[in-house]
Amino acid sequence: MSTSNTIAFIGGGNMARSLIGGLLRDGAPAATLSVAEPNEELRAALARDFSVSTHADNADAAHGADVLVLAVKPQVMKSVCAGLRDDAQARKPLILSIAAGIRIDQLDAWLGGGMPIVRCMPNTPALIGAGAAGLCANSACSPAQRESAHAILSAAGLAVWIDAEAQMDTVTAISGSGPAYFFLLTEALIDAGVAQGLTPDAARELATQTCLGAGRMLREDGAAPAQLRQRVTSPNGTTQAALESFAADDFARIVARAVAAATRRGGALSAQLDT
């Protein structure tokens, strides 16, 4: 991404902070970044931590920016877009939305039409530079704008292009919500360890480090998850006993149902905003 691009973040919450921090680590000048955040305490923290320009008013931050990163809650997105509409129509900046469930056509209508828009779904590990984000662009985006969007999301982790926007609700269900599933599994492992006699501290240390190590193996080994699982599973051993218990409870179907429920909820959120 060109260091001359100016980026305005509309909303200064955790995800905006993670992207700003990543961009600065990648060499973006602080002078090219601005943030609109109504909370005075959050504004002060952003200015102190990143030395970026901060504003209470969205229009002040957005004016003149090449990229607008919409990092507000879905419930207020329509009104936020209404306030940015005139300036957006005059300049046609790239719109990068990280709001779950809001479709590109909704954003385009709220901003007056004809806007280059990238819809993306990052996740909370972006806060430590280990995020996973799916991106989808409309036809109004130029190759350079797609590159800019990818660079912004890549500053906080992995960014993957998704061909069909209809798949974005599934992206939300897999990577956007996925960290919560992982934390739930880790919590269950800790509780199970304590139930079997481990101290809470020992159970937590063993479970969290095991999950960290397994995740690194998935990324660094290159083998399929099934292959890695088979390597750990000795015939008639302890791992096989546990996996057979998971299978008896239909673990794969439990996960599939959960992801399907999250996907449906993403679609329902956007449908609510059509009214």
Which pLDDT tens digit goes with each residue over 241-268? 999 999 999 999 999 999 999 999 888 8
Strands of the chain (E only): list them. 7-10, 33-36, 53-55, 67-70, 94-97, 117-121, 131-137, 157-161
67-70 and 7-10: which strand pairing? parallel
The pLDDT-based confidence of 95 (bands split at 50, 70, 90) is very high
Structural domain includes residue 92: yes
Structural domain includes residue 2: no
Residues 127 and 208 in one domain: no
Q: What is the CATH number of the domain that holds 77?
A: 3.40.50.720
Residues 140 and 254 in one domain: no
Structural domain includes residue 173: no
Structural domain includes residue 18: yes
Q: What is the CATH number of the domain that holds 204?
A: 1.10.3730.10
Residues 111 and 153 in one domain: yes
Return the amino acid letter for 28: A
Count the domains in the chain.
2
Q: What is the pTM of this model?
A: 0.87
Residues 18 and 153 in one domain: yes
Which pLDDT tens digit goes with each residue over 211-246? 999 999 999 999 999 999 999 999 999 999 999 999
Which pLDDT tens digit goes with each residue over 6-56? 999 999 999 999 999 999 999 999 999 999 999 999 999 999 999 999 999
Which pLDDT tens digit goes with each residue over 143-164? 999 999 999 999 999 999 999 9
Write out the residue range of the structural domain in which residue 198 sits: 178-270
CA distance 130 to 219: 12
Structural domain includes residue 74: yes
- Distance of CA 249 to CAs 52, 196, 242, Å? 51, 20, 11
